[in-house]
Amino acid sequence: MAMGLLASLGVVPASSTVPTAPLLAAGLVGGFALAQRTGVRPLGGAAMLGANAVAARQWYAVGGAPLAAGLSAAYWTAMGVSHPLAKKVGTWRSVLGVTAVSAGAAWLLADRRAR
């Protein structure tokens, strides 16, 4: 539904396939940076949610509901793991580390299959 709305607004082509690994990276890194810069954590969460919504549609097309649910769970788990990890390695190292894992999983399980 979200992609249909985005397509009708001309934001994305109706039949586009978006590589999800860089999309997730933008969602995690961009969401963190936005929340940190503005001090409004829900704004960062909204950026992450938007990236996940677009990516989940692509994952569903590639591998159905199990792939979309699994990669979405991994994406949000990565965000959750980044918080305690940040206490050990620092905020940006934590965000970049979990982003690499999340984006790597998306590429391995979905993006390379979608080609």
| Per-residue pLDDT tens digits for 13-28 | 555 688 999 999 999 9
Residue 56 belongs to some domain of the structure? yes
What are the CB-based long-range contacts (under 8 Å, 24+) for 2-8?
2/53, 2/54, 2/57, 3/53, 3/54, 3/57, 6/54
- Within-domain flag for 8: no
Where in the sequence is the domain holding 101, given as residue range(s)? 19-114
Query: Which pLDDT score is estimated for 17?
Result: 81
- pLDDT greater than 70 at residue 42: yes
Number of domains in the chain: 1
List of residues 6+ apart from 61 with CB closer than 8 A:
17, 114
pTM: 0.83
Residue 6 is predicted with a pLDDT of 56
pLDDT tens column, 93-104 = 999 999 999 999
- In a 3-state reduction of DSSP, which class is residue 17? coil
Q: Which residues contact 19 (CB under 8 A, 6 or more apart)?
A: 107, 111, 114
Asked if residue 85 belongs to a domain, the reply is yes
> Does some domain include residue 13?
no
